[in-house]
Structure 1
Amino acid sequence: MKKYFPLGILVLFLATISPVTAQQKITLEEIWGGAFRTQGLDELRSLNSGKEYSVLTYDRQKRQSTIDVYDYKSGNLARTLLNSSDLKGVDYIISYEFNKDESKILFATQLQQIYRRSSLGTYYVYDVASKQFSLVSTNQIQEPTFSNDGSKIAYGFENNLYVKDLNSGETKQITTDGKKNSTINGITDWVYEEEFAFVRAFEWSTNGDRLAYIKFDETEVPQFNMDLYGSELYPSADTFKYPKAGENNSKVSLHVYELTSGKTTQVDLSKFNSYYIPRLLWTKDNNVLSVQLTNRHQNIIDLVFVDVAKNTANVVLEEKDDAYVDVTDNLTFLNNNSFFWTSERDGWNHIYQYDKDGKLMNQVTKGPWEVTHFYGFDQNTGRVYYQSTENGSINRDVYSILPSGKNKARLTQKTGTNDADFSADYTYFINTFSNAETPYVFTLNEAKTGKQLREIKNNNALKNRLASYEISPKEFSTIKINGEDLNMYVIKPKDFDASKQYPLFMYQYSGPGSQNVSNSWMGTNDFWHQMLAEQGYIIACVDGRGTGFKGRDFKKMTQRELGKYEVEDQIAAAKKLGSEPYIDATRMGIWGWSYGGFMSSNCLFQGADTFSMAISVAPVTSWRFYDSIYTERYMETPQENASGYDNNSPLSHVDKLKGKFLLVHGSADDNVHVQNSMRLIEALVQANKQFDWAIYPDKNHGIYGGNTRLHLYTKMTDFIKKNL
Structure 2
Amino acid sequence: MKKILILFVAITSLATAQKKDITLDEIWNGSFRTERMNSLNSMNGDFYTLLNFNRTTRSTSVDKYSYQTLEKIESIVDSKDLADLKYFESYEFNNDETKLLLGVDAEPIYRHSSLGVFYVYDLVSKTLQLVDEEKIQEPTFSPDSKKVAYAKNNNIYIKNLENNEVTQVTTNGLKNSIINGICDWVYEEEFAFVRAFEWSKDSENLAFLRFDETEVPSFSMDITGKNLYPTQQVFKYPKAGEKNAVVTLHIYNISSKNNKEINIGEYEYIPRIKWTNNANILCATTLNRHQNDLKLHFVNATTSEAKVVLNEIDKAYVDIHDNLTFLSDNSFIWTSEKDGFNHIYHYSKEGELIKQLTSGNWEVTNFYGVNEKTKTAYYQSVEDGSINRTIYAVGFNGKNKKRLTNASGTNSASFSKNKNYFINTFSDANTPTIYTLHNSKGEQLKEILNNNTLLEKLSTYNLSKKEFFTLKTETGEFNAWMIKPSNFDATKEYPLFMTQYSGPGSQSVSNKWNSSNDYWFQHLAEKGYIVVCVDGRGTGFKGAEFKKATYLNLVKYETIDQINAANELAKRPYINKNEIGIWGWSFGGHMSTNCLLKGPDTFKMAIAVAPVTSWRFYDTVYTERFLRTPQENPAGYDDNSPINYADKLTGKFLLVHGSGDDNVHVQNTMRLTNALIEANKPFDQAIYPDRTHGIYRGKNTRLHLYTKMTNFIEENLGETKTPVELLKQ
Change (3 A) 1:500 1:228: same
Partner of 1:310: 303
Partner of 2:18: 22
Provide Cα deviations, 1:124-158, integer angstroms capped at 9, x if missing partner: 11111111112111110000011111111000000
Is the CA contact 1:546–1:556 (under 8 Å) kept in the aligned structure 2?
yes
Return the alpha-carbon distance in structure 1 between the equivalents of residues 392 and 380 of structure 2: 6
What one-letter code is carried by the residue in structure 2 that aligns with 1:497? Answer: D
Is the CA contact 1:371–1:389 (under 8 Å) kept in the aligned structure 2?
yes
SS at the partner of 1:421? strand
Say if 2:341 is the partner of 1:340: no
What one-letter code is carried by the residue in structure 2 that aligns with 1:564? Answer: K
Is the CA contact 2:57–2:80 (under 8 Å) kept in the aligned structure 1?
no
Return the alpha-carbon distance in structure 2 between the equivalents of residues 717 and 341 of structure 1: 46
Return the alpha-carbon distance in structure 2 between the equivalents of residues 570 and 118 of structure 1: 35
Provide Cα deviations, 1:4-53, integer angstroms capped at 9, x if missing partner: 9xxxxx9xx9999957861111111111101111111111111101x211
Match of 1:78 among 67, 73, 82: 73
Partner of 2:692: 700
Change (3 A) 1:663 1:90: same
SS at the partner of 1:557? helix
Is the CA contact 2:475–2:561 (under 8 Å) kept in the aligned structure 1?
no
Return the alpha-carbon distance in structure 2 between the equivalents of residues 30 and 87 of structure 1: 37
Q: CA deviation at 1:498?
A: 0.4
Is the CA contact 1:389–1:395 (under 8 Å) kept in the aligned structure 2?
yes
Return the alpha-carbon distance in structure 2 between the equivalents of residues 14 and 506 of structure 1: 36
Segments of 4+ in structure 1 off by > 4 A?
A: 1-4, 13-21
Partner of 2:281: 288
Q: Point out where structure 1 has 5 or more consecutive residues left out of the alignment.
A: 5-9
Partner of 2:593: 601
Partner of 1:394: 387
Partner of 1:35: 31
Say if 2:108 is the partner of 1:116: no
Match of 1:409 among 395, 402, 406: 402
Return the alpha-carbon distance in structure 2 between the equivalents of residues 450 and 614 of structure 1: 46
Is the CA contact 1:487–1:542 (under 8 Å) kept in the aligned structure 2?
yes
Return the alpha-carbon distance in structure 1 between the equivalents of residues 616 and 138 of structure 2: 32
Shifted more, 428-437 versus 474-483: the winner is 474-483
Partner of 2:420: 427
Return the alpha-carbon distance in structure 1 between the equivalents of residues 304 and 137 of structure 2: 29
Q: CA deviation at 1:655?
A: 1.2
Provide Cα deviations, 1:583-610, integer angstroms capped at 9, x if missing partner: 0111100000000000000000000110
Shifted more, 350-359 versus 76-85: the winner is 76-85
Return the alpha-carbon distance in structure 2 between the equivalents of residues 14 and 412 of structure 1: 43
What one-letter code is carried by the residue in structure 1 that aligns with 2:405? Answer: T
What one-letter code is carried by the residue in structure 2 that aligns with 1:198? Answer: F
Is the CA contact 1:159–1:179 (under 8 Å) kept in the aligned structure 2?
yes
SS at the partner of 1:260? coil
Return the alpha-carbon distance in structure 2 between the equivalents of residues 346 and 2 of structure 1: 67
Paired residues, what number?
713
Q: CA deviation at 1:86?
A: 1.5
Return the alpha-carbon distance in structure 2 between the equivalents of residues 2 and 95 of structure 1: 64
SS at the partner of 2:550? coil
What one-letter code is carried by the residue in structure 1 that aligns with 2:91? Answer: Y
Partner of 1:7: none
Return the alpha-carbon distance in structure 1 between the equivalents of residues 260 and 390 of structure 2: 45
Shifted more, 30-39 versus 673-682: the winner is 30-39
Q: CA deviation at 1:60?
A: 3.1
Partner of 2:720: none
Q: CA deviation at 1:487?
A: 0.2
Provide Cα deviations, 1:449-481, integer angstroms capped at 9, x if missing partner: 201000011111111111111111110011112
TM alignment of 1:303-702, pairs within 5 A: 303-447=296-440, 449-702=441-694
Alignment root-mean-square deviation, CA: 1.5
What one-letter code is carried by the residue in structure 2 that aligns with 1:721? Answer: E
Q: Point out where structure 2 has 5 or more consecutive residues left out of the alignment.
A: 718-729
SS at the partner of 2:673? helix
Return the alpha-carbon distance in structure 1 between the equivalents of residues 226 and 701 of structure 2: 16
Is the CA contact 1:548–1:554 (under 8 Å) kept in the aligned structure 2?
yes
Return the alpha-carbon distance in structure 1 between the equivalents of residues 276 and 524 of structure 2: 52
TM-score w.r.t. the length of structure 2 is 0.96
SS at the partner of 2:120? strand
Partner of 2:253: 258
Is the CA contact 1:602–1:653 (under 8 Å) kept in the aligned structure 2?
no
Change (3 A) 1:62 1:169: same
Is the CA contact 1:488–1:540 (under 8 Å) kept in the aligned structure 2?
yes
What one-letter code is carried by the residue in structure 2 that aligns with 1:372? Answer: T
Provide Cα deviations, 1:492-547, integer angstroms capped at 9, x if missing partner: 00010000010000000000000000001110000100100111100000000000
Partner of 1:189: 184
Is the CA contact 2:404–2:442 (under 8 Å) kept in the aligned structure 1?
yes
Q: CA deviation at 1:656?
A: 1.2
Match of 1:131 among 126, 129, 142: 126
Change (3 A) 1:71 1:680: same
Partner of 1:278: 271
Q: CA deviation at 1:89?
A: 3.8
Return the alpha-carbon distance in structure 2 between the equivalents of residues 502 and 84 of structure 1: 56
Provide Cα deviations, 1:323-357, integer angstroms capped at 9, x if missing partner: 00000000000010000111111000000000000
